Structure 1
Amino acid sequence: MTDAEIQPSAFIKHRLPGRVRLKIPQKRGDVNYFNRLEELFSDFLGINELKLNPSTASILISHENAVPFQDIAEFAKTKNLFNLVEEAEDHDETVPNLYIKALALAGFDRFDKALLDYSKGRLDARSFVFLSLIGLAIHQAARGNVLAPASTFLVYAFQLLDVKDINQIEYEQKADSEGE
């Protein structure tokens, strides 16, 4: 049996009529897996809304009451997405198996989206950090610390303009794993 045929275990975290939250601890941080879930569940009639969170390994499914959740679980099993279990199995609750740089950029990406939402699209995280570093550099220069802290903040600010985004890091990670 290949890795692709092994189904992860999912358990029900909470359930209300027409709404179920599942956890799949083995797939924590696996963005590709959750993208596949979203793609396959988009074809399932009866699901009104699907919210996926790879960082917490959770799926929130809002479905029509006429569609029993067991049908959704059976669909997932036949598509090799997950196998529904009664209770949570003991799983290692560690950080997902990702490069530290990818994890840091994923956090930065979440901060970026939250800042964009809060500022109604006027300010992204990279601009926020850039402006903060420029402000710190001006503050240090005004205090007479031109060579050490002020210049360092300026260097960091301008290096930030050269940082790759999360999509580039994920692409490089995938290319590295395919090359092994």
Structure 2
Amino acid sequence: MKWSAQIIHITPGRIRFKVPAKRYDPSFFEDLQVYCSSFDGVKQVTANVLTGSVLLLYGEIEQDTLIERIKNHPLLDFESKDYQIEKSGEVFTATDQQTAAQKASNTFASLDSTLKEFSNGSLDLRSILFISFVMFAARQLTQGAVFGNAISLFWYAIELIRPKKP
């Protein structure tokens, strides 16, 4: 029987793939670790049985060659459509299975562009958050919560307007 596997992240020098159905199976991942360690150019292989993932760090090997070797494992099926890998510059990302952070980021980006469009570019999400933090901090000050809430809110507001370091 072949197990469904997905390459979930590729950057130069790193490949991560998952075999979700074999989570909590240490002997399977030990065998997989030995198999992947045998490839020329692979520096380190780390398997995580709790997440069902394998991380390969590699150096002197062509990325496409390494991917083909991984896909040739007799017990793995990389043809499943669980994840669609899309290339974005040098980085590959999984598009069908987004993490909660990715979904939140996309939602905020969408909200930000809607705000900019609605206000003809004069407002963005960062500006709204800054104004909100200052207002909430001022309210906390009037209620006497100077050292806890008010200072934290002012700090967050300042962080929003501080120039980003390149």
- TM-score, normalized by the shorter chain, greater than 0.5: no
Q: Shorter-chain TM-score: what band?
A: 0.3 to 0.5
- The normalised TM-score by structure 1 is 0.41
